[in-house]
């Protein structure tokens, strides 16, 4: 393989640091640069809407690696700088500080960006915000005080996690969802019903089949939110959880192939032989179809596969995806992807408020959602890794899981 002197990683998130750390562990001794737009060292995003927002996790524990790690591993971190463009022809980057940065191999881990309100709402009032970064939480957290009126737009996992924290802090929470139920894009009716009931018991006002029609200034920071049915209410702050999109701006401008994300092969290589990508910003072929995964598991595992490929140790990325969400005292653990399911079975857990939902396409086992049921999660994940298809009827019957295969 040609000599490598310099590798640059764009994006200082979970995928970016995972790629850089793996390159060093595999013996790459050349110049290694990690470029990030935020002023922070790489940090974990999932706790932002959970323990960090609640004040239960100190800031320093968010960071993936301590500052000393980067010095010890000779990784140069360029923070608070945006990459303006990728120039593939001369293997360089143009940076927002006016400098250029050369590379022999480039790894793009630009992640994803939250969707904003449509143009009809512009300019968006300052009391309305999306949730993606540490800076977002820093702006939101001081306003999370008892009796404040919070409107959450979007009934996906981000919206529900924010609702759980807000209700626990004594805020008056209203959540509106355009679809006829929560979690319509990512989970079954059974799982959605479980979380709908969980939040309503905690006082969250959930309005499905409802969209936000207008936001108008009321008094100070408060706004009047009007919905598509003509009803309205006064709110003190509004959080948008209406989805994310892959950040492909740089890649697309550089001429890389885009297909619901930066199109990569099983080794994370893009349409340019010296440019790789990993994490939320990518799409890859999984079980015969191109998918994009938004998860910590994917960010870490795919980034490490990229590092292996760059170092000449390529093995195909073939994950068993996993995800999680914490809401109140409920831990949801998901193994697999439920896309294409035509049957679900619900299994009661061993303790109160625990259950699991198992997804099948015909007889093929696809995924499991486990609510406060770690045994079902671990068993389901083990079966997925082994390619085992358990008997759906026996799972639902409540017999020991060992007797379902």
Q: What is the pLDDT at residue 220? A: 62
Whether 121 has a pLDDT exceeding 90, the answer reads no
Q: What is the pLDDT at residue 118? A: 87
- On whether residue 37 sits in a domain, the answer given is yes
- Give the residue-averaged pLDDT of 278-291: 96
Q: Looking at the structure, do residues 344 and 292 belong to the same domain, yes or no? A: no
- On whether residue 323 sits in a domain, the answer given is no
CATH number at residue 97: 3.50.50.60
Q: What is the pLDDT at residue 126? A: 79
Q: What is the pLDDT at residue 29? A: 97
pTM for this structure? 0.95
pLDDT digits (tens, 9 = 90+) for 295-334: 999 999 999 999 999 999 999 999 999 999 999 999 999 9
- On whether residue 120 sits in a domain, the answer given is no
Whether 41 has a pLDDT exceeding 90, the answer reads yes
CATH number at residue 366: 3.30.390.30
Provide the residue range defining the domain that includes 390.
329-404
- Answer for the pair 140, 52: CB distance below 8 angstroms, yes or no: no
Q: Looking at the structure, do residues 109 and 20 belong to the same domain, yes or no? A: yes
Helix-helix angle 14-25:296-310, to 10 degrees: 40
Q: Looking at the structure, do residues 221 and 251 belong to the same domain, yes or no? A: no
- Answer for the pair 254, 236: CB distance below 8 angstroms, yes or no: no
Domain total of the chain: 3
Q: Looking at the structure, do residues 131 and 230 belong to the same domain, yes or no? A: yes
Task: Return the structure tokens found at 36.
Answer: 């990030």
Q: Looking at the structure, do residues 216 and 134 belong to the same domain, yes or no? A: yes
pLDDT digits (tens, 9 = 90+) for 9-30: 999 999 999 999 999 999 999 9
HSE toward the beta carbon, residue 72, CA cutoff 13 A: 7
Q: Looking at the structure, do residues 298 and 353 belong to the same domain, yes or no? A: no
Percent residues over pLDDT 70 in the chain: 99
Q: What is the pLDDT at residue 125? A: 83
Q: Looking at the structure, do residues 13 and 81 belong to the same domain, yes or no? A: yes
β partners of residue 24: none
- On whether residue 324 sits in a domain, the answer given is no
Q: Looking at the structure, do residues 131 and 235 belong to the same domain, yes or no? A: yes
- On whether residue 119 sits in a domain, the answer given is no
Distance between CA atoms of 263 and 201, rounded to whole angstroms? 43
Q: Looking at the structure, do residues 204 and 279 belong to the same domain, yes or no? A: no
Whether 339 has a pLDDT exceeding 80, the answer reads yes
Q: Looking at the structure, do residues 223 and 273 belong to the same domain, yes or no? A: no
User: Which of the listed residues 198, 223, 240 is the one where a domain comes to its end?
Assistant: 240
Q: What is the pLDDT at residue 2? A: 61
pLDDT digits (tens, 9 = 90+) for 203-237: 999 999 999 999 988 666 789 999 999 999 999 99
Whether 77 has a pLDDT exceeding 90, the answer reads yes
* Residue 122 binned pLDDT confidence (cut-offs 50, 70, 90): confident
Percent residues over pLDDT 90 in the chain: 90
Whether 3 has a pLDDT exceeding 80, the answer reads no
What's the whole-number average pLDDT of the chain? 95
- Give the residue-averaged pLDDT of 241-269: 97
Whether 1 has a pLDDT exceeding 70, the answer reads no
């Amino acid at each position: 393989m040609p000599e490598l002197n310099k590798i640059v990683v764009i994006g200082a998130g979970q995928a970016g640091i995972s790629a850089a750390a793996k390159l060093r562990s595999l013996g790459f001794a050349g110049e290694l640069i990690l470029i990030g737009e935020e002023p922070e060292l790489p940090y974990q995003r999932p706790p932002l809407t959970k323990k960090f927002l609640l004040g239960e996790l100190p800031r320093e524990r968010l960071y993936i690696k301590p500052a000393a790690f980067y010095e010890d591993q000779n990784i140069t971190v360029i923070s608070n700088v945006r990459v303006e463009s990728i120039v593939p022809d001369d293997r360089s980057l143009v940076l927002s500080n006016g400098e250029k940065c050369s590379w022999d191999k480039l790894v793009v881990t630009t992640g994803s960006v939250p969707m904003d309100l449509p143009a009809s709402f512009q300019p968006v009032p300052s009391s309305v915000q999306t949730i993606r970064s540490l800076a977002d939480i820093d702006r939101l957290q001081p306003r999370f005080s008892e009796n404040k009126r919070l409107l959450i737009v979007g009934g996906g996992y981000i919206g529900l996690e924010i609702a759980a924290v807000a209700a626990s802090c004594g805020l008056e929470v209203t959540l509106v969802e355009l679809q006829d139920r929560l979690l319509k894009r990512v989970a079954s009716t059974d799982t959605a019903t479980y979380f709908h009931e969980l939040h309503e018991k905690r006082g969250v006002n959930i309005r499905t089949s409802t969209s936000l029609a207008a936001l108008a200034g009321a008094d100070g920071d408060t706004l009047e939110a009007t919905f598509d049915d003509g009803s309205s209410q006064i709110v003190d702050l509004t959080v948008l959880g209406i989805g994310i999109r892959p950040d492909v701006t740089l890649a697309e401008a550089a001429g890389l192939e885009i297909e619901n994300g930066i199109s990569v092969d099983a080794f994370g290589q893009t349409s340019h032989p010296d440019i790789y990508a990993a994490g939320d910003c990518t799409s890859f072929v999984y079980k015969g179809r191109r998918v994009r995964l938004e998860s910590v598991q994917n960010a870490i595992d795919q980034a490490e596969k990229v590092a292996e490929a760059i170092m000449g140790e390529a093995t195909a990325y073939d994950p068993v995806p996993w995800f999680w969400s914490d809401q109140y005292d409920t831990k949801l653990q998901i193994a697999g992807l439920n896309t294409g399911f035509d049957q679900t079975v619900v299994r009661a857990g061993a303790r109160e408020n625990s259950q699991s939902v198992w997804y099948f396409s015909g007889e093929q086992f696809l995924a499991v959602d486990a609510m406060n049921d770690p045994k079902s999660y671990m068993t389901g994940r083990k079966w997925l890794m082994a390619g085992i298809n358990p008997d759906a009827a026996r799972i639902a019957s409540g017999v020991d899981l060992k007797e379902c295969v």
